[in-house]
Amino acid sequence: MGKNISHNPNTALIAGEAKARKYQSGFAAEGAQAFTEGFITTYAAGMKEKEKREAKMQSYMTALGSIENINMLDDGYNKQAVTNFVREKRDEYAELADIYEKTKDPEVMDKMNNIKSSFVNLNSQLKGLVEERKTYADAYDKDQLVVVGNGDEKYTDIYTNKGDFSIETNGDIGFTSNGEYNKFTDIAGKWNVKNNISETLTLKTNLDVKRIGAKGGDFYRDDIKNNYVANFKQTGKEGIMVMAKTDITGDNEYTLPNKAKAGNLSFESMWSQGLLADKFYTEFKPKNGNDWMWDEANSDKLNNLMSEYYTDVSEASFKQGKANYKPGGGGGGSANYVIGGQIFNARDFNNSFVPFINKLNAASEDGETFVSPTGMKFKFEKGKYYQMTGVNKYNMDDPMTFNDVAILDGWANYVPAGEDSEQGGGKPKLNWGK
C-alpha cells in the first residue's frame, strides 16, 4: 500500500524558514545594536575619563604658573635664557603630573612642588634684578658710583648685560664675570656709592675752620681729627673704603709735600703714589701695593690715616682764614690782598675781585651762577648761595649768606660794608673807597 502524501502545509518547516528569514532580515541586528550601544557607552566613558584627566593636567599646569616678569627684561639674551628654563621645567612638570595621576607617589608631588617654587623664586628675582639695574644706572648718571678694590668691577658687567647670565635649578639667577660666578642674592645692593655723609662733613669742617680763622679764633687739631674718626666710623667699613676712593672737592687747593695741589686725586691715589707726608707710611708702604686698604681688618688703620689727612686739609683751610684776619675788622685800603693763600696787588684785586663781588652782592635771580677769581663757583637760589661741588652739582645742604661766601672764598676782610649791612652777614651796601 502506498505511502500517503499530505498536501497540507508543513508548519514546522514554515516556522523554521520564517525563523531563518527573520534572522537574516534583522533579528541578528538586535545583537549588533546591543554591541554597538555597549561600545558607544564604553567609548563615551573613555572620552569622559580622558577629558577628566586632561582637566586635571590643565589644573596642574595652571597651578605651576608662569614667569610674568620676563616681560620686564629689555634684552633678548636674558629673555631667551628664561624662556629655555621655563620650557624645560614645564615639560618636566607635565611628565611628573602624569606619573602622579597614575601612582599618587608623594615623592613625585614633592618634585612638582619644587618646580613650582623655582618659578616663584625666579619671578621674584627677575623683578629684583630689573629694579637693581635701574638703581645702579641712576647712581651712575648722578656720578655716585665708586669702585673700591674688593671686586666692585663685576657690577658693571652684571648690570649692563655683559656678564654670562644663568638660572639654577631652584630659580636662583647668577652671573659669571671674569671667570667668577656670583649669585644675584649674594651681591644685590652691595655695590658702592659715594660716602655723601663724610663728604659733607669734610666740606663743612673746612668752611667752618676757615670762618674761625678769619675771625681770629683757634684751631683745635685733636678735636677736629676725633670728629673725622667718629664720622667715618659711623659709615661702616665699606664707607671708609669708599672715602679712600673718593675725590673730595674740599681738598683741591691743599698743597702736598711736593708743592703740588691735591686737585682731583683721592686719598688712595695720593697714598699709592707716595705723595703724602712721611707720617702716612710708617706701617704700610706703596711698594707693597694698597690691598691693605680693602681688608676690613685694617678699617680702623685706614680711618686713622684718612682722618689725619683731612685734619691737615682743615688746618690749611684754617690758616687761609687766619691770613685774612685783621684785629678790629678790615677795610679795603691795603696795598696787597691775601686771598686763599695768594697775594694780589690792588690793581689785580680791583680788576678781578671787585666786579665779581659786586655781581655776587647784586644777585636776585634764582639759578644765577658766579665764578670767583679763586676758581670757586657758586649759585644763587632763594636768597642764599650754594657752592659747586661737581659738574652741575651744588652743596644744597649748606646754604650760605654773602658773608659766608666772603669768608669761604677768602676776601671777607676786604669788603667795606655800608650802613645797610646786616649783623651776622646779610648783603652789605658796597661803597668801595679809593
SS3 235: coil
Residue percentage of the chain with pLDDT more than 70? 68
Using only C-alpha atoms, what is the Rg of the chain? Answer: 43
For 370-419, how does the pLDDT look when each residue is reduced to its tens digit (9 = 90+)?
988 887 889 999 999 998 877 778 888 889 888 888 888 888 877 765 43
By CB atoms closer than 10 A (0-12, 13-18, 19+), residue 74 is: exposed
Which of 413, 425, 419, 430 is closest to 332 using CA atoms? 413
CB 97 within 8 A of CB 111: no
Amino acid letter, residue 27 = F
In angstroms, the CA 217 to CA 177 distance is 55
* Bridge partners of residue 255, in order along the sequence: 261
Q: Worst-scoring range by mean pLDDT, 109-118, 131-140, 226-235, 404-413?
A: 131-140
Q: Output the pTM of the full model.
A: 0.47
Q: According to the model, what pLDDT value does residue 302 have?
A: 94
Q: According to the model, what pLDDT value does residue 303 have?
A: 94
Q: According to the model, what pLDDT value does residue 330 have?
A: 44
Q: According to the model, what pLDDT value does residue 214 have?
A: 81
In angstroms, the CA 67 to CA 153 distance is 30
Q: According to the model, what pLDDT value does residue 15 have?
A: 54
Task: Reply yes or no on whether the pLDDT at 201 is more than 60.
Answer: yes
In angstroms, the CA 245 to CA 147 distance is 7
In angstroms, the CA 434 to CA 422 distance is 23
Per-residue pLDDT band at 258 (split at 50, 70, 90):
confident
Write out the H or E segment, with its range, that includes residue 386: strand 384-390
Task: Reply yes or no on whether the pLDDT at 38 is more than 60.
Answer: no
In the numeric block, which cell numbers belong to residue 429? Answer: 651796601
More confident residue, 94 or 419: 94
Per-residue pLDDT band at 427 (split at 50, 70, 90):
low
In angstroms, the CA 315 to CA 75 distance is 52
Write out the H or E segment, with its range, that includes residue 66: none
Q: According to the model, what pLDDT value does residue 281 have?
A: 95
Q: According to the model, what pLDDT value does residue 420 have?
A: 42
CA dihedral of 341, 380, 427, 252, whole degrees rounded to 10: -10
CB 229 within 8 A of CB 202: no
Q: According to the model, what pLDDT value does residue 423 have?
A: 37
CB 417 within 8 A of CB 428: yes
Output phi, psi for 183, to 5 deg: -70, 145
User: Which range among 262-271, 296-305, 349-358 has the greatest average pLDDT?
Assistant: 296-305
Number of neighbours of residue 265 by Cβ within 10 angstroms: 20
Q: According to the model, what pLDDT value does residue 151 have?
A: 60
Per-residue pLDDT band at 32 (split at 50, 70, 90):
low
Output phi, psi for 274, to 5 deg: 70, 30
Q: What is the DSSP string of 178-192?
A: TTEEEEHHHHTT-S-
In the numeric block, which cell numbers belong to residue 318? Answer: 684754617
